[in-house]
Structure 1
């Protein structure tokens, strides 16, 4: 009987950690996508330096969480997001509106997908 309770406690701890991770990634991804969306609005108005500043801020936040992200997520996914930041920043520096918008939308989508992959849902369980 004691083994059963140890197993139940272990499963409960894993489940709790899954929920905490999911909540953390949702909060983090929402923060990043908000910054990138604001940067897009600024770029559309021609305020490229401000858009670059917000994108740099989002990248700095991403890099501050590198250890956690590379530990909890697939490396290929986190590498794609990092590459996406570099692509977006390059288009901002060149002030290429159409290419920037497409690259920024792709980056936002990749960040949102990171959360969706870790979300505790029936879709992810099946």
Structure 2
């Protein structure tokens, strides 16, 4: 299987490593890529684990997020800029026949000695 975050790389050599052990993630861009892949795969457990404890969604919100992630067709991740603790990206998906895009400056920090998503700037 190709990796959802990069069609030139196999999933097992890319995001699967993070999905198995988040502590292997060495940069915020790698975490962002693994989160995008988790959205594509509707891996809500990983999205919860990779989200800072202070800004995590409720269980109900995660269930809704999982339903939504499964209802759309993810098409592409585009990293526009990455710094030590931020990633500016666009994530493309098709919903109800329309091409949509999420454009976000994401802020990351370390919690429990690994990178996690904090919030959007």
State the structure with bigger RCO (CA 8 A, min sep 6), 1 or 2. 1
Q: Normalised by the size of structure 2, how large is the TM-score?
A: 0.31
Report which of the two has the higher share of helix. 1
**Max Rg structure:** 1
TM-score, scaled relative to structure 1? 0.31
Higher strand share: 2
